[in-house]
Amino acid sequence: MFRKRYLLLMLVACIAFAARAQKTVSTAKPNILLILTDDQGYHDVSYYGTEDIRTPYIDKLTAEGMRFDNFYANCPVCSPTRAALLTGRYQDYVGVPGVIRTYQEDNWGYLDPKAILLPKKLKEAGYNTAIIGKWHLGLESPNIPNDRGFDYFHGWLGDMMDDYWAHRRHDINYMRHNKQVIDPEGHATDLFTKWSIDYIKNEAKDSKPFFLYLAYNAPHFPVQPPTDWLEKVKQREPGITEKRASLVAFIEHLDDGIGKVLQALKESGQYDNTLIIFSSDNGGHLPSEANNGPLRDGKQSMYEGGLKVPTSITWTGKIKPGAISPQMNLSMDLYPTLLEVAGLRASEPIEGRSFLATLLGAQPPTETRPMYFTRREGGATYGGLSIYALRLGDWKLVQNSPYQPLELFNLKEDPKEEKDVIKENPDVYKKLNALLMQHIQQGGQVPWQKPVDGSK
């Protein structure tokens, strides 16, 4: 009797192992894990040699894939970049030129209900789709994750958290499990890590590939690392300021969470068949003492420090380990790239450009394309108006305040954007300004406020 029971258990174990092997080895389409951090500075990773911070798991992941040193967020603030990433379009073309917020008087975006989001497309290729963490693209239907193609949502519906343990914004609880309000205990980074691990383990039992969009709130202010992480940094880095120590500890705690998620992929046998993207939604927040390397300025700014973000993509057996690409890409380029990975094409016009060929070892295209950056904001500094930037090759046109003149920089000669050369290059200015005006006109065709009559 015991022998028969033992053999039966062994048979069940073999079947389960075979099912996992079938998913991890034979599936034509890889799982996709998209890790997006919030306000992580361009050099707030130790793989760039930043001496006061240690991000071993991000470093190892990057070393196992391709690093992009010229990867740009679509916007220097949160919501617009997320809209661009998930639609493959410029953010103002889908109604999100600025940050989506709780109160209408300070809200600068409304995601176009007709825009087709990445999870909806991936479902056509048989993917299970999930978002864990920060959404920030709408607080009510039709613009909540489960309405826009995600099978599963476990995370934060709103923008920033006022406290990483209390999980509130304006005393409102935006934590959700699908459409259900929840009130879990624990640091938000730890919660998102745990929920991702649970999801990954559960997906190992399913033969379908998954797309997991893991969007951490960290290291967005308020900078609140667990106490033990902060003390470790202070002891290790004598002379570090309190503010910088807090941010370093916050990011190192985040890195540890990412490491645990990657370990879950490995333990469940899914790592080798998972394409993993690591990126940030905009540059680092300078008042929090973020490190944007040699770049000018930071979050909220149209200068390079507000737009360039640390980014890498890993896919075992497909992407050469240790590769470094100089190609200029935008957050919205991930949309067509991932569609191509899944064997799909965009069903509607998009501005994003697939760079899958680059990932697989081809030389990046030599032609240049204009890259537009827009951001609308309120308050006395912006007055509800927009700021802009346009990069074309080595040239960059910038209007970092709606009340100041445009500036022109040659980034090849002046990567720190220290010398405005607009007067010396009138023809370049005329060309770029004409392109920017066309972009503004096209973006102006798309409403960015919720219809007052409630129509969709």
* 183: pLDDT strictly greater than 70: yes
Q: What is the DSSP letter of 26?
A: I
What pLDDT, in 10s, does the model give residues 7-58?
455 554 544 544 454 444 435 799 999 999 999 999 999 999 999 999 999 9
| pTM given for the model | 0.93
Q: Quote the tokens at residue 3.
A: 């022998």
Structural domains present in the chain:
21-359 (3.40.720.10), 371-443 (3.30.1120.10)
- Cβ 262 vs Cβ 271: under 8 Å: yes
What pLDDT, in 10s, does the model give residues 423-456?
999 999 999 999 999 999 999 999 999 887 655 5
Task: Quote the CA–CA distance of 249 and 235 in Å, as a whole number.
Answer: 11
Task: Quote the CA–CA distance of 128 and 31 in Å, as a whole number.
Answer: 9
pLDDT for position 356: 98
Mean pLDDT score of the chain, rounded to an integer?
Answer: 94
Instruction: Report helix, strand or coil for 356.
Output: helix
pLDDT for position 19: 47
pLDDT for position 22: 41
- Cβ 436 vs Cβ 372: under 8 Å: yes
pLDDT for position 28: 78
Instruction: Report helix, strand or coil for 27.
Output: coil
Phi, psi angles (nearest 5°) of residue 333: -70, -15
* 5: pLDDT strictly greater than 50: yes
Catalytic: which of 43, 75, 136, 220?
Answer: 136
pLDDT for position 343: 97
Residues in CB range of 368: below 8 A, 6 or more apart:
392, 393
- Cβ 42 vs Cβ 307: under 8 Å: no
Phi, psi angles (nearest 5°) of residue 414: -140, 70
* Most distant CA pair in the chain, distance: 91
Active site residue 177: no
60, 279, 298, 315, 424 from 197: Cα distances, Å: 19, 19, 32, 19, 55
What pLDDT, in 10s, does the model give residues 188-199?
999 999 999 999
What pLDDT, in 10s, does the model give residues 255-299?
999 999 999 999 999 999 999 999 999 999 999 999 999 999 999
- Cβ 27 vs Cβ 273: under 8 Å: yes
Catalytic: which of 43, 75, 78, 285?
Answer: 78
pLDDT for position 3: 54
What pLDDT, in 10s, does the model give residues 308-347?
999 999 999 999 999 999 999 999 999 999 999 999 999 9
For residue 342, give the nearest of 157, 93, 122, 144 by alpha carbon. Answer: 122
Q: What is the mean pLDDT of residues 399-418?
A: 98
- Cβ 149 vs Cβ 130: under 8 Å: no
Q: Quote the tokens at residue 329.
A: 């890409």
Helix or strand run (H / E) with residue 391 = strand 386-392
The proportion of the chain whose per-residue pLDDT surpasses 90, expressed as a percent, equals: 91
Active site residue 78: yes
pLDDT for position 94: 98
CB atoms within 10 A of CB 189: 24
- Cβ 302 vs Cβ 402: under 8 Å: no
